[in-house]
Amino acid sequence: MTDNIIDNSRYSRQVAFSAVGTQGQEAISRGRVLLIGCGALGTNIAASLVRSGIGSLHIVDPDRVELSNLQRQALFDEEDSRQGAFKAQAAVKHLARINSQVQLESFTARFDVQTAASFEPGKYDIILDGTDDILSRFFINDYAVSNNIPWIYGAVAGAAGMAAFFPASGNPCLRCVFDPPASRNEVDTAQTRGVIAPVVTMTTSIQCCWALKYLSGRNIKPLMAHYDIWADHIAYAELVSAGHMCSCCGKNT
Ligand SMILES: [Zn+2]
| Rounded Cα–Cα distance for residues 51 and 65 (Å) | 22
pLDDT value of position 251? 82
Q: From the CA of 169, how far away is ligand 1's center (Å)?
A: 9
Q: From the CA of 202, how far away is ligand 1's center (Å)?
A: 26
pLDDT value of position 183? 79
| Rounded Cα–Cα distance for residues 74 and 40 (Å) | 7
pLDDT value of position 245? 95
pLDDT value of position 187? 75
Q: From the CA of 105, how far away is ligand 1's center (Å)?
A: 30
Pairing of β 233-238 and β 126-129: unpaired
DSSP assignments along the chain, one per residue: -HHHHHH-GGGHHHHHSTTTHHHHHHHHHT-EEEEE--SHHHHHHHHHHHHHT-SEEEEE--PBP-GGGTTT-TT--HHHHHHT-BHHHHHHHHHHHH-TTSEEEEE-S--STTTGGGS-GGG-SEEEE----HHHHHHHHHHHHHTT--EEEEEEEBTEEEEEEE-TT-SS-HHHH-PPPSSGGGS--HHHH-B-HHHHHHHHHHHHHHHHHHHTT-----EEEEEETTTTEEEEEE----GGG-TTTGGG-
Query: From first to last of its 253 residues, what are the pLDDT tens digits of the chain?
Result: 444 554 579 999 999 999 999 999 999 999 999 999 999 999 999 999 999 999 999 999 999 999 999 988 899 999 999 999 999 999 999 999 999 999 999 999 999 999 999 999 999 999 999 998 899 999 999 999 999 999 999 999 999 999 999 999 899 999 999 998 887 777 777 777 899 999 999 999 999 999 999 999 999 999 999 999 999 999 999 999 999 999 999 987 7
**Residue 140, CA atoms < 13 Å, CB-side half-sphere:** 28
Total length of the chain: 253
pLDDT value of position 6? 46
Q: From the CA of 116, how far away is ligand 1's center (Å)?
A: 20
Rg of the Cα atoms in the chain: 18
Q: From the CA of 164, how far away is ligand 1's center (Å)?
A: 13
| Rounded Cα–Cα distance for residues 249 and 253 (Å) | 7
What topology is assigned to 14-252 in CATH?
Rossmann fold (3.40.50)
Q: From the CA of 249, how far away is ligand 1's center (Å)?
A: 4
pLDDT value of position 193? 83
Q: From the CA of 203, how far away is ligand 1's center (Å)?
A: 23
Q: From the CA of 227, how far away is ligand 1's center (Å)?
A: 23
Q: From the CA of 229, how far away is ligand 1's center (Å)?
A: 29
| Rounded Cα–Cα distance for residues 64 and 86 (Å) | 4
Measured CA angle at 239 (ends 237, 244), to 5 deg: 160
pLDDT value of position 181? 85
Cα→Cα distances 231→66, 102, 159, 187, 202, Å: 30, 38, 8, 20, 14
Q: From the CA of 28, how far away is ligand 1's center (Å)?
A: 28
Q: From the CA of 128, how far away is ligand 1's center (Å)?
A: 18
The answer to whether 5 touches 54, Cβ cutoff 8 Å, is no
